[in-house]
C-alpha cells in the first residue's frame, strides 16, 4: 500500500465508526516487510521473506472504550462487520470517564523534521549482496579454532511504515528501515558448550558494518571457556554497555503512568526526590538524527519534546499517557520512551576494568526479575572476575540480588563507551556494593 492508500483506509475506518455510533475513533494502518538469510556450514540454512499489514481501530462509545485489529485489509465487507460488531460490544462495557482521545492542541502539528531513519534504497539492494554478507561473516570464523562447534551467521533487514488518524484532528505517518548482521558461535570447553554472538546494525544499508563481527563473536565465545562460580560476596560490578539495559529497564518501567496509578511502582510520589547517585542522568530525546528510537509523535499522536527524566539522581518526569494523566490528575507527557540517553563519563571499559581492585564485569544476564512494586531484584549473571585491574577468569551460574534504588544510589561511574545502535543509548556502568551469590 502507498501512504495515500493507507490514509484513505484509516480515514474510511474512522468515518465508518463515527457513522455507526462511535463518538470518537482512532485508526492506524501498519505495514512492514523483512527478509533474513541464515547460513551454517557454508549453506543457506534458512531463507525467510515476510510482508504484513494491519488495521487497528480504537473506539470511544459513550465513554466506553475498546481496541480492535485485523490483517484482513482487502475485505471491506469484513471490515465493516468488524467495526459494527465492535461498537455493539463496546456498549456493554462499563463507562470510564477518563477514556478520551488526547486534546487536539497536544497533537503533533505536522511539522516533520528529517530524522533520517528511512533508507529510500531499501528495495534496490541486490539479494545476492545480502547473501554474500552472510557467507562472508561466517567465513571469518570457520576453521579458525579447533574448539568451534557451530557457527551461524545471518543478514536481516526490514522496512515498516504506518499512518494514524484521529477523529478529533490528528494525522501522522512514519517510515523506518533497518539492516543487521549477526554471528553466533558455539565452542567446546569441558562439558559445557558456551556460545556467544556479536551484532552490527544500521538504518542505511551503506552504513552497515559487515566485517569483524565473526571474529568478535568467536573471541567472546572462547573467553567463556572454563566459566564457574565463585564464593558469594558483596563487591563492585561493572555492567557492559550492550547489556546495561537489563539493569535500567526496571527503573523505566516504574515510571509508567499505569504502574504509578495502579500502585505497582516503587517510584510513586518520588518526583523531585533523589532515587540514584549524581552519576544518574537520563534524557529522553525523540529527535536525534538517525536515532533508533526517533519519532515525531507517539502512539497517541502527542507532540513530543526532549525531556529530562532523571538529573543527577533526582527524578524529574514520568511517562504518562492521556488516560493515566487524567486518572492521576497530571498533564500527559508521553506513555512511550523514544531515545533514552544516559549521560556518559570519561573512561572506556578497559580503563574502568583497570581501576578495579576486585569485582565482576557482567557481560550477560540469565533470567531473573524485579518486583516492580518494591524494586527488589534478583538476576542471573555471567561475566568475568577482575582482580588488581585484570580479568582473571570467566564466571557464570551466579546471581545478583538487591533493590533497584539501592543499586542506583551505588552507581559510581558511567563509561564513555555509549552503545548507540539501540533506542537506549547506554554506556558501561560501575556499581559498588552489589550482592553476588555463588558458592
Partner 1 sequence: MDRRKFIKTGTVAAAGSMVLPSFLHAYDNIKISGDMNSYLDHFGVSTEVIRKVIAEGMSKGGHYADLFFEHKISNSISLEDGKVNKAYSNVDFGVGIRVLKGDQTGFAYSETVDTVSMINAARMAANIADSPRDFKQGDVTEKLPANYYKISRKWESVSVEDRIPFVQKINDKIFSLDEKVSKVKASLSDESGYILFYNSEGLLSYDYRPMVSLRVVCTMQKGDQIENSYSARSFRTGFEWLNEDVMDELAKEAIDKTNILFDATKPKAGEMPVVLGAGGSGILLHEAIGHTFEADFNRKGTSIFSDKMGKKVAESFINIIDDGTLEYNRGSINIDDEGNEVKKTYLVKDGILNSYIHDRISAKHYGVDPTGNGRRQSFRHIPLPRMRATYMENGPHSREELFENVEYGVYVDNFSNGQVNIGAGDFTFFVKSGYLIEKGKLTDPIKDINIIGNGPQALADISMAANDYKTDEGTWTCGKNGQSVPVSLGLPSVLVKKLTVGGTS
Query: Within positions 33 to 62, which residues make up the interface with partner 1, using CB under 8 A?
Result: 40, 43-53
Three cell numbers, residue 316: 524529574
DSSP label at 407?
H
* Binding-residue pattern over the window 315 to 334 for partner 1, x denoting contact by CB under 8 A: ------------x-------
Count how many Cα atoms sit within 13 Å of the Cα of residue 439 in the half-sphere of its side chain.
Answer: 5
The residue from 2, 4, 19, 77 that contacts partner 1 (CB under 8 A) is 77
Instruction: For residue 371, state whether it binds partner 1 (rule: CB under 8 A).
Output: yes
95 vs 103 by CB, closer to partner 1: 95
Instruction: For residue 72, state whether it binds partner 1 (rule: CB under 8 A).
Output: yes
Instruction: For residue 26, state whether it binds partner 1 (rule: CB under 8 A).
Output: no
Residues 6+ apart with CB under 8 A from 111: none
Instruction: For residue 350, state whether it binds partner 1 (rule: CB under 8 A).
Output: no
Instruction: For residue 294, state whether it binds partner 1 (rule: CB under 8 A).
Output: no
Instruction: For residue 5, state whether it binds partner 1 (rule: CB under 8 A).
Output: no
* 115-120-126 Cα angle (round to 5): 140
Longest CA–CA separation in the chain, Å: 73
Instruction: For residue 65, state whether it binds partner 1 (rule: CB under 8 A).
Output: yes
93 vs 125 by CB, closer to partner 1: 93
Least CB distance to partner 1 at residue 156 (A):
11
DSSP 322-380: HHHHHHHT-----SS---EEEPP-S--HHHHHHT-SEEEEEEEEEEEEE-TTT-EEEEE
Site for partner 1 in 397-426 (CB under 8 A): 397-401
Q: State how far the alpha carbon of 293 is from the alpha carbons of 193, 378, 400, in Å.
A: 35, 28, 29
Least CB distance to partner 1 at residue 311 (A):
26
The count of residues interacting with partner 1 (CB under 8 A) is: 81
Site for partner 1 in 206-265 (CB under 8 A): 224, 227, 229, 232-234, 262-264
* Contact assessment for residue 59 and residue 90, using Cβ atoms and an 8 Å cutoff: yes
Q: State how far the alpha carbon of 244 is from the alpha carbons of 251, 296, 419, 424, in Å.
A: 12, 26, 10, 9
224 vs 347 by CB, closer to partner 1: 224
Q: Which stretch binds partner 1 (CB under 8 A): 11-19, 136-144, 281-289, 396-404?
A: 396-404
Instruction: For residue 32, state whether it binds partner 1 (rule: CB under 8 A).
Output: no
- The dihedral built from the CA positions of residue 143, 146, 149 and 153, taken in this order, carries a sign that is negative
Nearest residue to 36 (alpha-carbon basis) of 205, 175, 182, 176: 182
Instruction: For residue 3, state whether it binds partner 1 (rule: CB under 8 A).
Output: no
Instruction: For residue 312, state whether it binds partner 1 (rule: CB under 8 A).
Output: no
The residue from 13, 26, 60, 68 that contacts partner 1 (CB under 8 A) is 68
Site for partner 1 in 155-194 (CB under 8 A): 186, 191-194
46 vs 350 by CB, closer to partner 1: 46
Task: Provide the 3-class DSSP secondary structure of residue 6.
Answer: helix
Site for partner 1 in 79-108 (CB under 8 A): 81-82, 85-86, 89-90, 92-96, 99
95 vs 207 by CB, closer to partner 1: 95
Residues 6+ apart with CB under 8 A from 432: 236, 410, 412
The residue from 5, 62, 78, 169 that contacts partner 1 (CB under 8 A) is 78
The residue from 145, 215, 351, 376 that contacts partner 1 (CB under 8 A) is 376
Three cell numbers, residue 349: 571499559
Instruction: For residue 351, state whether it binds partner 1 (rule: CB under 8 A).
Output: no
* Contact assessment for residue 434 and residue 237, using Cβ atoms and an 8 Å cutoff: yes
* Contact assessment for residue 228 and residue 396, using Cβ atoms and an 8 Å cutoff: yes
Amino acid at each position: 500500500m502507498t501512504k495515500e492508500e493507507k490514509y484513505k483506509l484509516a480515514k474510511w475506518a474512522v468515518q465508518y465508526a463515527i457513522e455507526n455510533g462511535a463518538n470518537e475513533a482512532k485508526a492506524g494502518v501498519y505495514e512492514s516487510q523483512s527478509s533474513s538469510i541464515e547460513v551454517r556450514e557454508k549453506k543457506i540454512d534458512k531463507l525467510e521473506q515476510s510482508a504484513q499489514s494491519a488495521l487497528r481501530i480504537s473506539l470511544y462509545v459513550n465513554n466506553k472504550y475498546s481496541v480492535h485489529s485485523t490483517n484482513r485489509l482487502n475485505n471491506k465487507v469484513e471490515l465493516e462487520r468488524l467495526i459494527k460488531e465492535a461498537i455493539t460490544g463496546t456498549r456493554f462495557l462499563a463507562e470510564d470517564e477518563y477514556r478520551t482521545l488526547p486534546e487536539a492542541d497536544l497533537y503533533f502539528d505536522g511539522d516533520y523534521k528529517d530524522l533520517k531513519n528511512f533508507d529510500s534504497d531499501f528495495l534496490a539492494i541486490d539479494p545476492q549482496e545480502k547473501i554474500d554478507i552472510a557467507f562472508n561473516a561466517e567465513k571469518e570464523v570457520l576453521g579458525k579454532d579447533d574448539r568451534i562447534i557451530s557457527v551461524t551467521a545471518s543478514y536481516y533487514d526490514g522496512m515498516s511504515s504506518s499512518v494514524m488518524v484521529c477523529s478529533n484532528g490528528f494525522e501522522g505517518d512514519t517510515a523506518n528501515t533497518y539492516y543487521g548482521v549477526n554471528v553466533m558461535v558455539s565452542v567446546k570447553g569441558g562439558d559445557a558448550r558456551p556460545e556467544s554472538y556479536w551484532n552490527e546494525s544500521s538504518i542505511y544499508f551503506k552504513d552497515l558494518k559487515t566485517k569483524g563481527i565473526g571474529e568478535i563473536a568467536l573471541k567472546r565465545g572462547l573467553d567463556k571457556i572454563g566459566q564457574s562460580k565463585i564464593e558469594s560476596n558483596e563487591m563492585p560490578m561493572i555492567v557492559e554497555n550492550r547489556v546495561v539495559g537489563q539493569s535500567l529497564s526496571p527503573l523505566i518501567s516504574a515510571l509508567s503512568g499505569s504502574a504509578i496509578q495502579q500502585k505497582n511502582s516503587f517510584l510513586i510520589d518520588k518526583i523531585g526526590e533523589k532515587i540514584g547517585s549524581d552519576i544518574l542522568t537520563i534524557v529522553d530525546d525523540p529527535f536525534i538524527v538517525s536515532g533508533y528510537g526517533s519519532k515525531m509523535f507517539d502512539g497517541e499522536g502527542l507532540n513530543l519534546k526532549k525531556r529530562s527524566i532523571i538529573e543527577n539522581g533526582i527524578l524529574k518526569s514520568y511517562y504518562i499517557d492521556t488516560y493515566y494523566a487524567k486518572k492521576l490528575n497530571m498533564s500527559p507527557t508521553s506513555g512511550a520512551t523514544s531515545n533514552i540517553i544516559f549521560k556518559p563519563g570519561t573512561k572506556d571499559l578497559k580503563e574502568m576494568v583497570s581501576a578495579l581492585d576486585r569485582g565482576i564485569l557482567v557481560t550477560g544476564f540469565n533470567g531473573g526479575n524485579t518486583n516492580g512494586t518494591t524494586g527488589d531484584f534478583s538476576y542471573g549473571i555471567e561475566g568475568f572476575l577482575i582482580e588488581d585491574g585484570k580479568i582473571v577468569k570467566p564466571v557464570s551460574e551466579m546471581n545478583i540480588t538487591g533493590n533497584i534504588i539501592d543499586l542506583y544510589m551505588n552507581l559510581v561511574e558511567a563509561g564513555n563507551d555509549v552503545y548507540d545502535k539501540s533506542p537506549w543509548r547506554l554506556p558501561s556502568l560501575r556499581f559498588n556494593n552489589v550482592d553476588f551469590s555463588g558458592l
